[in-house]
């Protein structure tokens, strides 16, 4: 299924958007600053919005945008278009870097040794099967998120937007571990069901 | 798929992984951010022939990353500096407010001293000694009153006030109703040094008294007398 980048960009969903991203990336790989600016204009809002949602701080979110685009500039030449959409890859970079920054801000000791922290330096080699959802899918997902029981939604959001483990989510919510795992599993199943409709 | 450990992160596979990233409220980044991001690659070489670009490309990439890191560091340092300056500004404001208060206190002290000097050197000054009453036998006070200049009042050994109470100084005249001269708040040793402006048309005082009253004072004395003194020759 082809992705519709306009789901989040506010323009008609077209295959050309994805192809335009790949073309921009190819030009960026050759040092084309104009192509870099085009990519920024298409996706800065997407990257900034996710970083802001995770970090809840505008200055920190701006730092993440800078870091993500710097990484795109540095790794553009190694990006394999067959692995997925450029914008989806950028979203992955954004989430990983923002969660790392969140952990660092909270000075959690495991931030330095957590094997999942490797996500923070996730390069293009690790990015695969990355596709954006269509506008219609995003709308369905947003609606389904709203309709989730609050306890399920909260647990899922802590896991996704803060990168917490099951144990950490349980501790944060002061709920039994089993309860938290069940809530997250049920939430994921519901969202998966909605997206497969 | 292997067993899920309790400390594992919840498994979020595409498309949910991507969808949650897209589902957040969309917010426009600040316009200035665009310039900052583009500046990270400014100066980097533009499109070059593929064969010639490898070494330069590596250098350009490294330079851009260094520049990005440098900008990030600079931004961080700038934020820290702003925070420190704000803190210093707060301290400076607090010091200025304290200095202003000290100046006001000093002005008030000077004004009080001037009144006291004026009263004590007035040709019509009269001295009134007040003696402690049964509730405060060790207390004593002395007042200097001038119809034209006001009153200087000093007291010592007044008992500490209970909460919500205040001493009040009264001028007793030939008229039945005593006139309040003001409120007295003794220091930790029970001492008082106050100056009061008294109306020049006040009837001739015959006595002074200090009573204990509710905080804020009262219209006419109702509490117990702590100090009483008569005006000699009144």
Look up the ipTM and state it. Answer: 0.78
Q: Which residue in A46, A159, A167 is closest to B6 by CB distance? A: A167
- A113: nearest Cα among A96, A127, A100, A124: A100
Task: Answer yes or no: are the C-beta atoms of A8 and A91 closer than 8 Å.
Answer: no
Query: How is residue A76 annotated by DSSP?
Result: G
Q: What is the mean pLDDT of residues A162-172?
A: 87
Cβ neighbours, 10 Å, residue A85 = 21
Mean pLDDT check: name the lowest of A93-97, A107-111, B13-17. A107-111
Q: What is the pLDDT of residues A11-38, one digit of tens each?
A: 334 566 778 888 898 899 898 999 999 9
Q: What is the mean pLDDT of residues B93-102?
A: 87
Task: Answer yes or no: are the C-beta atoms of A28 and A35 closer than 8 Å.
Answer: yes
Q: Which runs of E-coded beta strand occur in chain B?
A: 126-132, 140-146, 150-156, 165-173, 179-184, 192-196, 205-214, 225-230
Which of the four pLDDT bands, split at 50, 70 and 90, describes residue B166?
very high
* Residue A189, C-beta contacts closer than 8 angstroms, at least 6 positions apart: none
Residue A14: burial class (beta carbons within 10 Å; 0-12, 13-18, 19+): middle
A27 touching B (Cβ < 8 Å) = yes
What is the least distance, in Å, from the CA of A38 to any CA of chain B? 10
What pTM does this model have?
Answer: 0.50
Q: What is the pLDDT of residues B146-163, one digit of tens each?
A: 888 889 999 999 999 999
What is the least distance, in Å, from the CA of B86 to any CA of chain A? 17
DSSP string for residues in B40-71? TTTTS-----GGG-HHHHHHHHHHHHHHHHHH
Q: What angle do CA B159, B161, B166 make, to 5 degrees?
A: 120
- Taking 70 as the threshold, does the pLDDT of residue A114 lie above it? no
pLDDT of residue B46: 53
Q: What is the pLDDT of residues A50-65, one digit of tens each?
A: 999 999 999 999 999 9
B20–A184 C-beta distance less than 8 A? no
A110 touching B (Cβ < 8 Å) = no
Mutation target to probe the B interface, by most B beta carbons within 10 A, among A29, A73, A148 is A73
- Taking 50 as the threshold, does the pLDDT of residue A124 lie above it? no
| Cβ contacts of B23 on chain A, cutoff 8 Å | 138, 141-142, 145
pLDDT of residue B48: 44
Q: What is the mean pLDDT of residues A144-149?
A: 91
Hey, CA dihedral for A69, A92, B27, A40, is it positive or negative? positive
């Amino acid at each position: 299924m082809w992705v519709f980048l306009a789901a989040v960009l506010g323009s008609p969903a077209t295959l050309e958007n994805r192809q335009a991203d790949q073309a921009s990336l190819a030009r960026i790989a050759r040092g084309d600053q104009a192509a870099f600016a085009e990519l920024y204009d298409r996706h800065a809002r997407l990257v900034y919005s996710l970083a802001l949602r995770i970090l809840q701080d505008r200055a920190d979110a701006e730092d993440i945008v800078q870091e993500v685009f710097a990484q795109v500039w540095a790794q553009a030449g190694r990006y394999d278009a067959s692995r997925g959409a450029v914008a989806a890859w950028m979203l992955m970079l954004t989430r990983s870097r923002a969660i790392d920054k969140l952990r660092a801000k909270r000075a959690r000791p495991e931030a330095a040794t957590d094997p999942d922290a490797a996500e923070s330096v996730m390069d293009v080699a690790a990015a695969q099967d990355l596709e954006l959802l269509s506008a219609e899918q995003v709308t369905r997902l947003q609606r389904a998120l709203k309709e989730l029981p609050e306890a399920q939604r909260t647990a899922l959001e802590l896991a996704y937007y803060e990168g917490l483990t099951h144990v950490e989510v349980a501790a944060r919510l002061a709920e039994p571990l089993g309860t938290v795992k069940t809530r997250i599993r049920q939430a994921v199943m519901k969202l998966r069901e909605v997206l497969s409709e | 798929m292997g067993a899920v450990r309790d400390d594992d992160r919840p498994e979020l596979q595409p498309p949910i992984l991507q969808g949650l990233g897209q589902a957040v409220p969309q917010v426009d980044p600040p316009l200035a951010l665009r310039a900052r991001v583009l500046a990270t690659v400014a100066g980097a070489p533009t499109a070059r022939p593929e064969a010639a670009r490898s070494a330069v490309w590596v250098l350009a990439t490294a330079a851009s990353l260094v520049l990005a890191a440098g900008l990030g560091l600079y931004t961080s340092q700038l934020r820290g500096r702003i925070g420190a300056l704000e803190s210093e500004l707060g301290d400076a404001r607090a010091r200025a407010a304290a200095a202003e208060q000290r100046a006001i206190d000093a002005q008030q002290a000077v004004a009080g001293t001037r009144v006291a000097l004026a009263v004590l050197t007035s040709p019509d000054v009269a001295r009134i000694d007040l003696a402690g009453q049964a509730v405060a036998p060790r207390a004593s006070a002395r007042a200097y009153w001038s119809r034209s200049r006001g009153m200087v009042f000093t007291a010592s050994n007044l008992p500490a006030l209970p909460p919500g109470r205040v001493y009040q100084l009264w001028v007793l005249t030939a008229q039945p109703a005593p006139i309040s001269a003001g409120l007295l708040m003794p220091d930790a040793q029970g001492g008082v040094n106050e100056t009061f402006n008294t109306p020049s048309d006040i009837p001739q005082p015959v006595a002074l008294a200090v009573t204990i009253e509710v905080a804020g004072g009262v219209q006419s004395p109702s509490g117990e007398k702590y100090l009483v003194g008569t005006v000699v020759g009144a």
